Structures are given as C-alpha cells and as structure tokens.
Structure 1
Amino acid sequence: MSSVQFLQSGGSWTYPENSLPVLRGTDNRERLEAKPGQDSVLIGGGGGDHVVGAKGANTFKYEKASDSLSNEPDTIFNFNPKQDEIDLSEVLQENGITAIHIQNELPKNVGDVQITHHGFGVSTLNMKVTHEGPLFSVRVDNVKLLPEHINFYNSH
C-alpha cells in the first residue's frame, strides 16, 4: 500500500475476567497495535484507524456501523487468515440484520455485502447496514479476504 500515513498510537487495554484482553480505540484516527504472542480483541472505534494484528489470534471487532465508514474506513494490517477474524456480529445485531447476501456488486439493500480484491494486495469489505448513509467499510492490507474470515453472527 503506497499511501500509508503515520497515525499516533492510541487506545487503552482492558483485561475483562474470563475473556481476551481488549484494545479499545477512541473516535479519533489512531494506530492500534496488538501485543505479539497474545490473543486479543481490537476495537477501533470511530475514525479511519490503522488496526495492526500481531502473532497470536486477533479479533478485529466492530460494535457500531459508524466504527468504519466508506468515507473513512479502517485499514487492518498483519491479518492472518489462518487464525484472525473480523467480527461484525454486533453491527448486524445493532441494525436488526438477520440475513446477509454476499454479492459482486456494490451493496444496494440492507444486508448486502461485497468483498473486493485489488491488484495491489488490498481487500475491501463493504456492507449496507442502513437504508440511508454511507456503507460500513473496512480495508484489509495484503490479504485476499474471504467470507470465512468474517464472523457475521457470533458463531464462534
């Protein structure tokens, strides 16, 4: 990716009982980095964040559609398709979406999902979550993102 800009590190770690450590971002654009060798959950919050995975199983979790919009999407770096996942279950639940439709064209109806792969190693996930407003969107650097990398309905 040639247009990567430097973002200040941000977020704060919490350690919920009986759960993985969580790095939660703010509504500012920031860089959130997982700790190497530690399974964790990364929640970007608003703004076009750079969310960076590390060795260990990383869950890139989105709680609200406004966490990553098409006009300022998050970019996920170091995504390991063998053990990491993007968790969209709360976004779907928040918007009452009970069925998704993966398709090749830009989403038109609520529940439509498009995953595109660009020749320079970036995948983009776009999802229509409301009738109006921008699409939920997230970019994944250097990975061919597939539907099985996404947790739509808290199935894990």
Structure 2
Amino acid sequence: MAILEIVKYPAEVLETVCEKVTQFDRNLIRLLNDMYDTMLAADGVGLAAPQVGIAKQIAVVDIGDKHGKIELINPVILEERGEQVGPEGCLSFPGLFGEVKRADYVKVRAQNRRGRVFTLEATGFLARALQHEIDHLNGILFTSKVIRYYKDGELEG
C-alpha cells in the first residue's frame, strides 16, 4: 500500500464536483486501499478522493466503531433529520477546527468496491463524518458551514 499526498486548500480539486465512478476494477481497489492507509497515517476518520487529487466520487470513513472501514463510491444522502452541532476539522486544512451544524441522522446509498449498491443508516459522529466526506465529493468544504472557529483549542467569539 502507498501513503498518498493529501491535497491542501486552496487546491482547485477540493472545490470540484466529482465525477461518478463507472469502472470497478483493480485500480479502484488499489486507490481505496491507499486512501484508507493515507487516512490512518494522517490520524483522520475520513478521506475523500479529491483530497488526494482525484475528482471521483470515492470516500473512506472509519470512526473506530463497530462499522469499521466504510468505503463509499457514488454516495447519495437519501434522508436526513435532526440536528447536531459539533467540532470538525479536515486533513486538507491542517490545524483548523470549527463548530459545524449537521443532520444527526442520515441514510446513505452508495456502492462498494465491487459496484454492489448498499444503504447505511448513521447517527451522531458517524453521520457527521459521512456528511463531511460526501460534501467533499460535491465540492463543498466544511469551512463554508462553520458557525464559529476554534483558536488554540477554544471557541472564538
């Protein structure tokens, strides 16, 4: 496996609406494996393909719970409800953290590495992580949703 370079803001690819994945092959499997290793090496809980310079609808999430590694290809949020506000950061914005409002529950449809469609329901932190990564695939950065930024570990203003 390879550790990929994480693209930092203001790289244009981070604000690009990503293309759907149509080929489910060895290259995709290699990319998913490399993205997962890169995310773990960077101490992240999610990583989207544009964060490694690839404008494709691919993301990996692992918040360290019972779900383990979640691979999302061509994900779509089918349903969301409730509200949560909590801290977020992003591997493409090192050292930057802020309070972000998200849905507390999401139902997501995606494909796995073989192209098989699945649905996933999530609440709390997992719902937050899924929404953050799916936003990346639509060219939306968490900074556009920040209510307040943290400075030196404390909320500003």
Q: Same fold (TM over 0.5)?
A: no
Structure with more helix by fraction: 2
Higher relative contact order (CA 8 A, sep 6+): 2
TM-score by length of 1: 0.28
